[in-house]
A and B are shown apart, each in its own frame.
Chain A
Amino acid sequence: MRTTQKDNPALQIKPKAPETAIWRHHHILDVDDFSREEIELVFHTTKAMKEVLSRPIKRVPTLRGKTLITLFYEPSTRTRLSFELAAKNLSADVANLSASVSSVAKGESLVDTLSTLQALGADIVVMRHPRSGAPYIATKYIEASIVNAGDGWHAHPTQALLDLYTIQEHRESLKGLKVVIIGDIMHSRVARSNIWGLTTMGVEVTLCCPPTLLPVGLGSQHHFPSVSIEPNIELALDGADIVMTLRLQLERQQSGLLPSIREYIQLYQLTEARLARAKPDALVFHPGPVNEGIEISPNVAHGPQSVINEQVTNGVAVRMALLYLLTGSQKQ
């Protein structure tokens, strides 16, 4: 398709993405099976997509004739919208299906739903599900490419890749940077995917949270040599290049993991005073939606070091890049 329209520069993607031979993913499930080279390929392609987004008409025909279905078993605003815009910018046909988890109880299984999507001719299914591993099960029952838009506590690969991309826009190299992730690591798919992606890129990761919100084994020097644990937020922030805060689900208090939200704020909120311990040019990330005044103070969330809005903007470009790369792997 691109070759037949090569004369029209408005329909082309520049700079041309590099040779995509190293790309071997038919699905995007997590970044833990992405090599450094593949992540760099995503960066490079994202840069090309950002150029497309800077044009007055933000649309290229790459996915014309392809059908992308978003299948969300959990509420989402930005991720779903971001995927929808990304797909439309690439001229895909987009349809949305909101399945409620309760429909499982009514007897409609995930596998049934997937076979329906298969029958409807989906080429790509963007899927969010509250159960860890659901997209992995999906790949066994559908030929379409599955893009994981978040599964349980397990993974959120597109969020991690957009975070990585946003960091590398601000820094020459990721290698050797100190990234601090603060908050509910245990229940966070964003934290998990970021840990795998960041360590692949040579980043030193520090996890800061109450020990009740830390999943077992991450402090193992044997298994994760570039991950360290520091429950004290002041010490954790010392000399940090990047600070990522995570949304705290308010029900964690009820489940006995925290004595109170009040104490969490006292011990773990990212405030201006605490941020001052990081490097002066440190950047502040949050995957959204933000609980202002809980995990992060409003001044920091809207302050000069915050890149929260850049994350959202880059999200569309990264997702365009991933969809573009996936089409190269599509079975014709």
Chain B
Amino acid sequence: MKPLLIQGGRIIDPSQGIDITGSLLIAEGKILWLGKGEKTPPQPDYDVLPARGLVVCPGFIDLHCHLRQPGFEEKETIATGTKAAARGGFTTICCMPNTSPPLDNQTVVEYIKSKSASEGVVRVLPIGCISKGRKGEELAEMGELASAGVIAFSDDGEPALNSHLMRQALDYSRAFDLPIIDHCEDKALTEGGQMNEGIISTRLGLRGIPNAAEEIIVARDLALAQLTGSRLHIAHVTTEGSVELIRRAKEKGIKITAEVTPHHLTLTEERVIGYDTNAKVNPPLRTKRDIKALIQGLNDNTIDIIATDHAPHTEADKLCEFDLAPFGISGLETALGSLMSLVHDREISLVTLIAKLTYEPARIIGNKYSKLGTLAIGAPADVTLFDPTLEWVVDTKAFASKGRNTPLAGERLKGKVMATIFQGKLVYKDDSINVKGS
């Protein structure tokens, strides 16, 4: 394969503090050369991908998605999920272990690795279970999972409600220097809950999920992180109170990281009006006030990263009474478009947005993947190109994901992924992009 020159784009790489107009040369799956302005690379023979008007940045990393394989292949597979990731500009995605069987043993890890190698178009990094069978009773064999290659542990979807087990998991994981990711939800407070608790849940006659259900477990986890000194990552933070708790814990020097999803940053509980089951997600869409706190948390680094919590479901799954519909939003393919609204509204800077999707998640994964999320010379050539101002309409029929469950269907978004390069290979490109020989 010839080297590829990504020519004349706005290159933003928060890992190196770079924001320049220039060109990037990639060859043999690696970043080879970066030149400012009109500079051309020393070697003469390469193909050209014109990037004028586009942002060129490290491929996005999603620390939180659901690929549903094995067990729920009607909802998503590694093949369709990684294609969706490529369309969304993601070159590394970390899949949650709530499959069937769950990712609580090395056989399933090996299965995912082999499927990803043969059918995936981007990098898939598995997350192992905290407990056997995700039951919250006994620790999974975390050492074996770590050797098999998981990058974190989580019982996502289920909180580790037993505080003793959570403490053990945090302590035990220290031996492998891998983070524990917790889905913070006090189940006693969310039993039967369908949406954010508030005036809208009252009006719709749906059982509410109070902010406190999340904050109680966040507070507990922060205390356990302090107790153990282990690495804790809080999944999908949604409330003002959680942001405040995490901010205070970070000020105290507790080793924690946190994520927020594109939908919790951009959509409110009002989306549920009309009983749109595609707006049913756990944790639920909250209020404007919470969104304001989440954005502030992103800006002051209380919240480290943005992760999609891509949760695909079939149309039939969602085509039912609101109470009976499963939770989840298909998010990989709309992530950038919806997040760019925050940049257009001057809520966050473009550089911050990119950092939260590239460099920051790479730091959390760390270890042997520390060369992800950067355009440094010699790093894997994972590159995303997007048009920050191009408007497009979300057409779920065009999704690569099997999950068309998004409340954004039919909406106009501003900001679109134009090409995704994974290890030097063009794994997605918009129809308008043409690669030319030099």
Interface pair A104/B324, CB less than 8 Å apart: yes
Q: In angstroms, how far is the closest chain A Cβ from the Cβ of B47?
A: 48
A109 within 8 A of B: yes
Question: Which residues of B lie under 8 Å from residue A217 when comparing CB positions?
Answer: 198-199, 202
Find out whether the CB atom of A32 lies under 8 angstroms from the CB atom of B205: no
Chain B positions within 8 Å of A131 at CB level? 321-324
Q: How far is the CB of B264 from chain A (nearest CB, A)?
A: 20
Point out the residue from B197, B319, B321 that lies within 8 Å of A134, measured CB to CB.
B321
Tell me which of A11-19, A37-45, A79-87, A149-157 binds B: A149-157
CB nearest to B208 among chain A residues: A216
Kindly state the separation between the CA atoms of A134 and B208 in the bound complex, as whole angstroms: 17
Q: Which residue of B lies closest to A192 (CB)?
A: B205
> Which residues on B sit within 8 Å (CB–CB) of A220?
199
Contact A154-B319, Cβ < 8 Å, known A136-B274, A216-B197, A217-B199? no
Report the nearest B residue to A135, measured CB to CB.
Answer: B275
- The answer to whether A151 and B205 have CB atoms under 8 Å apart is yes
Total contacts A-B at CB 8 Å: 65
Assembly CA distance A129 to B324 (angstroms)? 13
Q: Determine whether B368 belongs to the interface, using a CB cutoff of 8 Å to chain A.
A: no
Q: A114-139 vs B: 1/0 string, CB under 8 Å?
A: 00000000000000010111101100
Q: Looking at the assembled complex, report how far the CB atom of A285 sits from the nearest CB atom of chain B, in whole angstroms.
A: 20
Docked CA distance A152–B202 (Å): 12
Give the contacts of B267-326 with A (CB-CB under 8 A).
274-275, 277, 316, 319-324
Partner of B321, one of A110, A215, A216, A223: A110
- CB contacts (< 8 Å) of B198 on chain A: these are 216-217
Say yes or no: A155 contacts B321, CB within 8 Å. Answer: no
Q: Is B401 an interface residue (CB 8 A)?
A: no
Among A137, A152, A216, A223, the residue within 8 A (CB) of B205 is A152
Q: Is B252 an interface residue (CB 8 A)?
A: no
**Chain B residues near A223 (CB-CB < 8 A):** 199
Asked whether, in the complex, the Cβ of A132 is within 8 Å of the Cβ of B204, the reply is yes
Choose among A109, A153, A155, A216 the residue that contacts B320 (Cβ–Cβ < 8 A): A109
Q: Are B201 and A216 in contact (CB-based, < 8 A)?
A: yes
Contacts of A94 in B (CB 8 A): none
Q: What range describes how many residues of B lie at the interface?
A: 20 to 34
By the criterion CB–CB under 8 Å, are A137 and B199 in contact?
A: no
**B206 within 8 A of partner (CB):** yes
Residue B203 at the chain A interface, CB threshold 8 Å: yes
Q: Which bucket holds chain A's interface residue count? A: 20 to 34
User: CA–CA, A155 to B316, complex, Å?
Assistant: 26
Residues of B within 8 Å of A109, CB to CB, are 316, 319-320
A133 to B275, CA, bound (A): 6
Which of B197, B199, B205 makes the CB contact (< 8 A) with A133? B205
CB within 8 Å of B: which A138-194 residues = 151-155, 189, 192
Interface 0/1 of B108-139, CB less than 8 Å to A: 00000000000000000000000000000000
Please give, as numbers and ranges, the residues of chain B lying within 8 Å of A134 by CB-CB distance: 321-322
Measured between beta carbons, the chain A residues less than 8 angstroms from B316 are 109
Expressed in whole angstroms, the Cα–Cα distance for A153 and B316 within the complex equals 25
List, in ascending order, chain B residues with CB within 8 A of A129's CB: 321
Q: Are B199 and A132 in contact (CB under 8 A)?
A: no
Q: Which residues of A contact B206 (CB under 8 A)?
A: 132-133, 152-154
A196 (CB) vs chain B CBs: closest residue: B203
Q: How many angstroms from the CA of A129 to the CA of B322 in the assembled complex? A: 12
In the complex, A131→B325 CA distance in Å? 11
Contact with A along B70-85 (1 / 0, CB 8 A): 0000000000000000
Contacts of B203 in A (CB 8 A): 32, 192
Contact assessment for A133 and B204 in the assembled complex, using a CB-CB cutoff below 8 Å: yes
Cα distance A152–B324 when bound, in Å? 13
A84-98 vs B, CB cutoff 8 Å, 1 = contact: the mask equals 000000000000000
A155 to B323, alpha carbons, bound, how many Å?
Answer: 15
Evaluate contact between A136 and B205: CB separation under 8 angstroms: no
Q: State in angstroms the CA–CA spacing of A153 and B323 once bound together.
A: 12
Mask: chain A, 51-81; 1 = CB below 8 Å from B; 0 = not: 0000000000000000000000000000000
For B177-208 the 0/1 string (1 means CB < 8 A from A) is 00000000000000000000111011111101
Smallest distance from the beta carbon of B239 to chain A beta carbons, Å?
A: 15
Complex CA distance for A108 and B209, rounded to whole angstroms: 29
Contacts of B199 in A (CB 8 A): 216-217, 220, 223
Q: Taking the nearest CB of chain A, how far is it from the CB of B396, in angstroms?
A: 16
For chain B residues 198-242, which have a beta carbon within 8 Å of chain A? 198-199, 201-206, 208
The complex places the Cα of A154 from the Cα of B202 at a distance, in Å, of 8
Q: How far is the CA of A113 from the CA of B7 in the complex (A)?
A: 57
Chain B CB within 10 Å — which of A111, A131, A133, A216 has the most?
A133
Q: Which residues of A contact B202 (CB under 8 A)?
A: 192, 215-218
Contact B320 A110 (CB under 8 A): yes
Q: B201 touching A137 by the CB < 8 A rule?
A: no
Asked whether, in the complex, the Cβ of B320 is within 8 Å of the Cβ of A111, the reply is yes
Contacts of B197 in A (CB 8 A): 216
With A154-B204, A216-B199, A220-B199 in contact, do A132 and B323 touch (Cβ < 8 Å)?
yes
Cβ B204 vs Cβ A111 within 8 A: no
A-B contact pairs, 12 of them (CB 8 A): A32-B203, A109-B316, A109-B319, A111-B319, A131-B324, A132-B205, A136-B274, A137-B320, A151-B205, A192-B205, A215-B202, A216-B197
Mark A residues whose CB is within 8 Å of B. Answer: 32, 104, 109-111, 129, 131-134, 136-137, 151-155, 189, 192, 215-218, 220, 223
Nearest 9 interchain pairs by C-beta: A154-B205, A133-B275, A217-B199, A153-B205, A132-B205, A131-B321, A215-B202, A131-B323, A133-B322
